[in-house]
């Protein structure tokens, strides 16, 4: 299987993770013109699962290092299977709740709150589970990235005053989503031998098999979670599976593409975690809101006609973001 053997390459892969995590939502925005989120989400989940299979039989099965994809799946213990499956279910529930919170409390309130909590708690959880890198520099970087996320939220709020109906229920759901999202990565990382991808401990998973099991966990849990949300949506009228199967092929493919993009980022994060450490890989990936902000500024023109004050906030946001990423990278460069 393909293994990362140096820290610089691991950091590059983590940056790709950040780009993918911050970009997949563009497909939702495209499909959302004619397609409800609950229907899009099925294609998104299918895209993640399909990509995990393709990845396992390609990068997960080439080379002489480590165990091949199928051989690895056969020897993983039940406990590690369960851990990765739980990671998929936890992620899925958190992601669905975060989307619901955005619908109720607005993007500028729910998204920064949910992702900010996920970033801080996630780094703490992953560092305790697999300590790697200098903690002082790592958490300084996390704080700087959180400040950047908050500045982005303030700037967005100034551009969309009165456009979002903030309410306590949406805020509470965003907090719950953030807590859930902070734990999913650790469940999957716990199933892997992060210290030795070349000769993994018997019974433990490689990044490729762990990611596949994680994707299966997302798919299986979606049969429950998304079915419930389709019948009793947080916002809007209920939708049916008949509507889903009546959708155009091109619309379905946009959702699948979104899942593939997110899947690429997540898989690379786990592959990089062997060299960079789970906490650093997760922290760099969670800079995704800033990537999304770049899409909003330069592609979707969401800040067109912004005041000087808003532009100042955006400039400060990017300064804090770059400084935070630099600190996170330096924390593992030893």
Over the stretch 142-157, which tens digit does the pLDDT of each residue have? 999 999 888 888 887 7
Residue for token pair 């393909």? 2
| Alpha-carbon distances of 200 from 70, 96, 131, 187, 224, rounded to whole Å | 14, 33, 18, 17, 34
Q: How confident is the model over 22-48, as pLDDT tens digits?
A: 888 888 888 887 888 899 999 999 999
Q: Which of 321, 325, 283 is nearest to 118 (CA)?
A: 283
CB atoms < 10 A from the CB of 82, how many?
14
Please check whether residue 49 lies inside any domain of the structure: yes
What are the Cα distances from residue 229, in Å, to 11, 93, 113, 154, 172? 37, 11, 22, 30, 17
Report the predicted TM-score, pTM, of the whole model to 2 decimal places: 0.90
Residue 315 lies in a domain: yes
d(C-alpha 187, C-alpha 83), whole Å: 5
Q: Which residue has the higher pLDDT, 33 or 55?
A: 55
Distance CA 248, CA 257 (A): 14
Distance, CA of 200 to CA of 193 (rounded, Å): 6
Confirm whether 1 is domain-assigned.
no
In a domain, 278, yes or no: yes
Q: Which residue in 318, 323, 21, 313 sits closest to 142, CA to CA?
A: 323
Please report whether residue 2 resides in a domain: no
The verdict on residue 313 lying in a domain is yes
- Phi-psi category of residue 315: left, alpha or beta, with phi > 0 → left and psi -120 to 50 → alpha: alpha
Tell me the pLDDT tens digit for each residue of 194-218: 988 888 899 999 999 999 999 999 9
Band (pLDDT 50/70/90 cuts) for residue 289 is confident
Number of CB atoms found within 10 A of residue 268's CB = 27
Please, are residues 107 and 159 in contact by the beta-carbon 8 Å criterion?
no
> CA-CA distance, 84 to 177, in Å (whole number)?
19
Domain range holding 288? 7-331
Q: pLDDT value at position 164?
A: 47
> Does 305 score more than 90 pLDDT?
no
Mean confidence (pLDDT) of the chain? 90
Amino acid 302: pLDDT: 73
Q: What is the CA radius of gyration of the chain?
A: 19
Confidence band for 246, pLDDT divided at 50, 70 and 90: very high
Classified as helix, coil or strand, 235 is coil
pLDDT of residue 74: 96
Give backbone dihedrals phi and psi of 25, rounded to 5 degrees, phi first: -65, -15
pLDDT confidence of 334, banded at 50, 70, 90? low
pLDDT of residue 107: 61
Q: Which two tokens stand for residue 143?
A: 């704080």
pLDDT at position 224 is 97
Close Cβ partners of 112 (under 8 Å, ≥ 6 residues apart):
149, 150, 152, 153, 289
Confidence class of residue 111 from pLDDT cuts 50, 70 and 90? confident
Q: Give me 71's structure tokens.
A: 């051989």
pLDDT of 166 higher than 60: no
**Cβ 1 vs Cβ 326: under 8 Å:** no
Instruction: Cite the DSSP H helix spans in the chain.
Output: 7-23, 25-31, 37-57, 69-75, 78-105, 107-129, 135-159, 168-190, 207-231, 241-245, 249-276, 278-285, 288-294, 308-331
Number of other residues whose CB lies within 10 A of the CB of residue 131: 12
pLDDT at 274 over 70: yes
What is the reported pLDDT for 63?
82
Q: Residue 289 class from Cβ within 10 Å (0-12 exposed, 13-18 middle, 19+ buried)?
A: buried
Q: Would 18 be classed as within a structural domain?
A: yes
3 state DSSP class of 32? coil
* pLDDT score for 46: 98
Lowest mean pLDDT, pick from 24-28, 80-84, 172-176, 299-303: 299-303
pLDDT for residue 87: 97
Predicted confidence (pLDDT) at residue 186 exceeds the cutoff of 50 = yes
State the greatest distance between any 2 C-alpha atoms of the chain, in Å, as a whole number.
Answer: 59
The predicted pLDDT at position 103 comes to 67
Question: 192: helix, coil or strand?
Answer: strand
Q: For 333, which DSSP code?
A: -
Domain count, the chain: 1
């Amino acid at each position: 299987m393909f293994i990362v053997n140096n820290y610089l390459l691991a950091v590059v892969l983590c940056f790709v993770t950040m780009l993918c995590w911050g970009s997949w939502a563009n497909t939702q925005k495209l499909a959302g013109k004619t397609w409800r989120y609950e229907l899009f989400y099925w294609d998104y989940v299918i895209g993640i699962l399909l990509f995990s299979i393709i990845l396992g039989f390609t990068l997960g099965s080439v080379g002489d290092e480590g165990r091949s994809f199928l051989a690895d799946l056969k020897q993983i213990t039940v406990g590690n299977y369960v851990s990765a499956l739980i990671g998929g279910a936890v992620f899925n529930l958190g992601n669905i709740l975060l989307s619901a919170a955005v619908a109720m409390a607005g993007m500028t309130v729910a998204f920064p709150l949910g992702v900010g909590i996920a970033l801080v708690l996630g780094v703490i959880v992953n560092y305790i589970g697999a300590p790697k890198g200098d903690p002082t520099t790592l958490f300084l970087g996390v704080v700087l990235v959180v400040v950047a996320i908050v500045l982005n939220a303030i700037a967005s709020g100034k551009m969309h005053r009165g456009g979002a109906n903030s309410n306590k229920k949406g805020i509470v759901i965003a907090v719950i989503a953030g807590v859930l999202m902070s734990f999913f990565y650790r469940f999957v990382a716990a199933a892997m031998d992060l210290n030795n991808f070349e000769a993994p401990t018997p019974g433990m998973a490689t990044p490729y098999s762990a990611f596949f099991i994680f994707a299966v966990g997302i798919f299986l849990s979606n049969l429950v979670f998304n079915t419930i949300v389709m019948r009793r949506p947080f916002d809007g009228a209920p939708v049916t599976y008949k509507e889903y199967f009546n959708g155009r092929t091109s619309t379905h493919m946009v959702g699948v593409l979104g899942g593939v993009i997110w899947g690429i980022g997540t898989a690379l994060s786990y592959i990089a975690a062997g060299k960079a450490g789970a906490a650093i890989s997760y922290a760099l990936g969670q800079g995704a809101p800033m990537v999304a902000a770049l899409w909003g500024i330069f592609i979707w023109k969401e800040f067109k006609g912004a005041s000087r004050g808003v532009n100042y906030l955006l400039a400060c946001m990017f300064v804090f973001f770059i400084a935070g990423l630099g600190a996170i990278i330096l924390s593992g460069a030893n």
